[in-house]
Amino acid sequence: MSRQATYDSLPPHYTDDEAIPLTFTIGTYASHPLVTITEVQAHLRLLGAFATLKAHVQRGVPDPQHAWSVFVHKAVYRFDKFMSGAWRDFPPWNEEIIPPLDVVMVWHTYLLNPWTYHEDSVRRTTPFARRLAAMQSMPITLVASLIDPNTFEPLVPSYHRESFFELTSGLSFMYATSTSMTDVLELVCPCCNALNERVPWITADGKGFGETEFAYTCESCGRSFNRETMGVRKFCEEATRHRAGRKVYFANTLVDSNTGKEDEMLAEMKSFHIVQRIRTVFKLSKVCEQDDIVPQATELAKALDWSTEKVVPLLQQAIYAQKTFRRGDATTPFVQRILGAYNNAGYASLDLVGAVIRQGSFVKAIEGLGWLNARRFTSGRTQAPLFQAISRYHSFLDLLTTKAPACPIPTLDIDLVWHTHQLSGAAYRTDTLRLLNRVLKHDDTIQPSTFHAGYAATSTAWTKRFNAAYSTCGCVPKDVILPPIISITTPKAKSKGGWLGIPTFKRNGSVLSFLTVEGRNASRSSLFSGISPTSTRVGRPSDVESWLAPPSVPLVEAVEEEDEDGATHPSEHALCFNSDETQVRIPCKRRNIPGVENQI
């Protein structure tokens, strides 16, 4: 950890009311910028901290992948404890309530699954669900201010920040980057509800709670349990809560699978039929008393032998009452989605461990671009790729208002801005519902064949709509000063200030300065004045933020990579680095697009 964090080190917010925001055409809407340069830069700093954390965990160990997997399991456990802890009312956002970096990493990944995150925050009335709802938008600039801009190490937390986490979670604020066989945790047995106080994180035979093949024999009842056992118990508890009159919708029943919109009536109907089927099969009473929820949930799980195989026929017959299912029949996709939410031990309806590990590929790709270099985007001109990325993200949304590919795949730069937008969970949901009439789903589990076919279709649709190449190289080598602007545009796009006219960059006290290596600090009052707890944006965009071209005018000269299949992510990232960190661009094949003039 680095120096002590203080309120004076938090980032300033630019509030120049004289700046005129530029709008983007997205379908039939003229939209203000949905993501700011401040947020993207703050997000890059956070990704840099994740990469640094992973490097620390994997350094000097015989099996780096196993070490990282164990660490992520521990981080998810800490996240669950924090989100379900002893909270009262959620306080306004400030430095004191930001959890440690490992917990932030899990929260970050959860937000990148917007359908699941939102549904988990409203389908139950548990403390965990209420915390999700309260923390549905990450104050990304505040979080980034707690990370050293040079080393990407977390700053030393204040006493109040440590105390808040430790009181709410019951765990130490400081996390260990290594794990030994003597490290243990407490788990409640899903079979008898007894507390097991010394469950190991790792074991010699690979069956610790931090390992994929987890299994443990309860010290009280002597029954072996694993994550499937714990997941079935979670399902049974929700069914029993529903019988007791609590508000409970089963996972993946509340959010429409096509639009991401809520449908409470349909969710209630499906949940009712599932509970009704359970009652009929096991001859249970219609109502369960509040005090009997735990014991009756245990009895139901016992009747199901704590096995998902026993749950499948119940779900299929409940949801598809008019069909007859026989032993060995394939599980329907909808039932598979429901079951998938109950295959893990935590409160979330997705495998957060797997999701965090998958995010590592994205962070590695961004790092390969050189975009996590602390000195990469320190001035207005070197930030051109980020401005372009923001512009291209809005173009991507505009593309989705048309007959876009069934599986649209973003380039890496667009994906970065898309992720940044998703971190403002409430605003993201509102924005995409308004602009696209659906909540745009982000799926990081797409199979390679579907991924490449989707990217090819997206590239074709992009070129057809915008008359520009989809994959671009917007990377600026070290110490190279960009010309005033590099763009592809038609002669009609010429403005008074030349090609898209560049505004004067405000280098001192601007929205960008807090993320530079030598950025100035802001006072606590300037940070929190006028800030909504669900957004990190204040006032109008700055002059710098206004340098965002309409979606039909990409900012940087379009090129086409010679071999997209050879890249780790189809995008502009055909880069490598030599020993002195000089950025080198791998040769790209330029393509002249008819009717488009290249202005340099």
- 329-352 tens-digit pLDDT: 888 999 999 999 998 889 999 999
**For range 18-27, the mean pLDDT:** 66
Query: Rounded to an integer, what distance in angstroms lies between the CA atom of residue 378 and that of residue 48?
Result: 15
**For range 171-195, the mean pLDDT:** 95
Q: Residue 582 — very low, low, confident or very high, per pLDDT cuts 50/70/90?
A: very low
- pLDDT tens digits, one per residue of 129-155: 999 999 999 999 999 999 999 999 999
**For range 87-91, the mean pLDDT:** 78
The three-state secondary structure class of 226 is: coil
Q: What are phi and psi of 64, to 5 degrees?
A: -60, -40
Q: Please report the pLDDT score of residue 277 as a whole number.
A: 94
- Please tell me what DSSP assigns to residue 323: S
Residue 257 has pLDDT above 70, yes or no: yes
Apex CA 351: angle with CA 349 and CA 355, to 5°?
Answer: 120
In sequence order, which residues have a C-beta less than 8 Å from that of residue 329 and are 6 or more positions away? 316
Q: Which CA distances in Å does 20 have to 10, 27, 143, 432, 529?
A: 26, 22, 28, 23, 21
Apex CA 352: angle with CA 153 and CA 108, to 5°?
Answer: 40
Query: Rounded to an integer, what distance in angstroms lies between the CA atom of residue 83 and that of residue 371?
Result: 32
Average pLDDT, the chain: 78
User: Is there a contact between 73 and 353 (Cβ–Cβ < 8 Å)?
Assistant: yes
User: Is there a contact between 320 and 335 (Cβ–Cβ < 8 Å)?
Assistant: no
Q: Please report the pLDDT score of residue 484 as a whole number.
A: 39
The kind and range of the H/E element at 537 are: none
Closest CA to 78 of 3, 8, 159, 172: 172
User: Is there a contact between 262 and 255 (Cβ–Cβ < 8 Å)?
Assistant: yes
The three-state secondary structure class of 445 is: coil
In sequence order, which residues have a C-beta less than 8 Å from that of residue 477 and are 6 or more positions away? 582, 583, 584, 585
* Neighbour count for residue 381 (Cβ, 10 Å): 16
**For range 502-510, the mean pLDDT:** 32
Query: Rounded to an integer, what distance in angstroms lies between the CA atom of residue 194 and that of residue 222?
Result: 11
Residue 592 has pLDDT above 60, yes or no: no
- pLDDT tens digits, one per residue of 261-298: 999 999 999 999 999 999 999 999 888 998 899 999 99
Query: Rounded to an integer, what distance in angstroms lies between the CA atom of residue 262 and that of residue 115?
Result: 10
Q: Which CA distances in Å does 491 have to 387, 466, 468, 469, 558?
A: 21, 15, 15, 18, 17
The three-state secondary structure class of 33 is: coil
Closest CA to 462 of 452, 471, 470, 453: 470
187 beta partners: 196
Which range (87-101, 138-152, 516-530) has the least confidence?
516-530
Which range (8-17, 433-442, 456-465) has the least confidence?
8-17
Q: Could you tell me the two tokens for 274?
A: 């599932």
User: Is there a contact between 95 and 10 (Cβ–Cβ < 8 Å)?
Assistant: yes
Q: Residue 89 — very low, low, confident or very high, per pLDDT cuts 50/70/90?
A: confident
Burial per residue of 253-278, b for 16 or more beta-carbon CB atoms within 10 angstroms, e otherwise:
bbbeeebbebeeeebbebbebbbebb
Q: Residue 598 — very low, low, confident or very high, per pLDDT cuts 50/70/90?
A: very low
Give me the numbers of helices (H) and strands (E) for the chain, helices first please. Answer: 18, 14
- pLDDT tens digits, one per residue of 417-450: 999 999 999 999 999 999 999 999 888 877 777 8
105 burial class (0-12, 13-18, 19+ CB within 10 angstroms)?
A: buried
Q: Please report the pLDDT score of residue 214 as a whole number.
A: 96
Q: Please report the pLDDT score of residue 473 as a whole number.
A: 55
Q: Residue 584 — very low, low, confident or very high, per pLDDT cuts 50/70/90?
A: very low
Residue 461 has pLDDT above 70, yes or no: yes
Length of the chain: 600
The three-state secondary structure class of 31 is: strand
173 burial class (0-12, 13-18, 19+ CB within 10 angstroms)?
A: middle
Query: Rounded to an integer, what distance in angstroms lies between the CA atom of residue 108 and that of residue 46?
Result: 10
pLDDT > 90: percent of the chain: 61
Residue 597 has pLDDT above 70, yes or no: no
- pLDDT tens digits, one per residue of 534-555: 333 333 333 333 333 333 333 3
Residue 504 has pLDDT above 50, yes or no: no
Angle between helices 384-399 and 448-466 (to 10 degrees): 90
Q: Residue 92 — very low, low, confident or very high, per pLDDT cuts 50/70/90?
A: confident
